[in-house]
Amino acid sequence: MVTLIASLLVSSLAAIGLAKPVVKCPVILEGRVPLNTTVDTFDTSASRFNPDFVKGANLTWFQIIQFPSTAPSKFDLPINKAIEVTIDDRSIFAPGGNAQIGFRRADLLLGNGSDESNIGVKTFHWSTKQDRFAKLNLTHEYMTVWHETNDFSANQFSFNTGLLLSDTSLDKSLWKVLDRNNNVIWSTKIAWDTWQNFAITMDMDKNMLQVYYSKGYDTLKAVTQLVVNDNSGGGQFHVGILKKPTETKTVVYDGYQESGIFEGQIHGGIFIEDSAGECISL
């Protein structure tokens, strides 16, 4: 049913001329989800993401991922579809049995930390949309997309919203791109009813990054200059949802999370492309 709706949406978008392929650089890691993918795929090695991480200790991706009946994002047209990553009270990651009770999280991992996406100049793409029936609670801080170093000590960049624990003076309804030092380098309002498309180019050799953005089916535009950022340490591209607690000291192991939640993020157009020679898909 959902696949049928998605196919109909694709045909109607094709009819108005939007369904032309727009990715022009070599794709290094592919996270776009083909229309015929079933949810159980995410728990198998056929998944484009790591089937084992990062999710609630007793949950499968089958329980976490949904296919929302929304039009595909611009880089998903015409053969891929959106996914929705959800969290509820069970979304407690417990690596080595050590439950991270501060967080509610489910984030898909693209790459293994030592693949080609960690070399040279690469652009990380994702599109995001909101589910009005599974809204975020912006009293909390969220990360929905980030690139975490292999030693888990930092994120080369992260894409956050809600009330930041580190700076409660900032408008909670903004998306905020944070650099490795957790400085907000760019922000924009959450759009509640349309796709928002983001891309970050990381130059691993020159230690620079640059942010691109558009809404709906518009062409991406640079919204920052090339800014200095420590891109060392390798890592993985996380796409999903991580909700931080309020009233917390350690963030990971304590704090307040209300119970009875059901929240989601719709994602699409996930891929990492080679931006050697300043190639970028806009």
d(CA 107, CA 76): 19
d(CA 271, CA 282): 13
Quick one: 56 or 268, whose CB is closer to ligand NAG? 56
CA 47 vs CA 69, 111, 240: distances in Å: 21, 12, 15
Q: What share of the chain is helix, strand, coil (3-state, %, to 5)?
A: 10, 40, 50
Look at residues 67, 149, 59, 148 and name the one whose alpha carbon lies nearest to residue 104.
59
Q: Which positions from 138 through 177 interact with ligand NAG, judged by CB under 6 A? A: 139-140
Candidates 114, 219, 232, 250: give the one binding ligand NAG (CB under 6 A): 114
Which of 63-71, 110-118, 144-152, 235-243 is the region at the interface with ligand NAG (rule: CB under 6 A)?
110-118
Q: How far is the CB of 179 from ligand NAG (least distance, A)?
A: 26
Candidates 62, 152, 192, 256: give the one binding ligand NAG (CB under 6 A): 256
Strands 262-274 and 121-129, bridge-based pairing: antiparallel
By CB under 6 A, the count of residues binding ligand NAG is 17
Q: Which positions from 18 through 77 interact with ligand NAG, judged by CB under 6 A? A: 34, 36, 57-58
DSSP letters for 225-257: --EE----S-EEEEEEEEEPPBS-SSSSS-SB-
227 lies in the binding site for ligand NAG (CB under 6 A): no
Q: How far is the CB of 188 from ligand NAG (least distance, A)?
A: 22
Quick one: 58 or 181, whose CB is closer to ligand NAG? 58
The alpha carbon torsion through 46, 50, 53, 54 (nearest 10 deg) reads -110
Quick one: 17 or 97, whose CB is closer to ligand NAG? 97
Q: How far is the CB of 104 from ligand NAG (least distance, A)?
A: 11
The SS3 call for residue 77 is coil
Place of tokens 């995410």: 42
User: Residue 255 region, left (φ>0) first, then alpha (ψ -120 to 50), else beta?
Assistant: left
Candidates 83, 92, 163, 199: give the one binding ligand NAG (CB under 6 A): 92
Quick one: 152 or 256, whose CB is closer to ligand NAG? 256
Quick one: 58 or 153, whose CB is closer to ligand NAG? 58
Give the binding site for ligand NAG (CB under 6 A): 34, 36, 57-58, 90, 92, 94, 99, 112, 114-115, 137, 139-140, 246, 256, 258
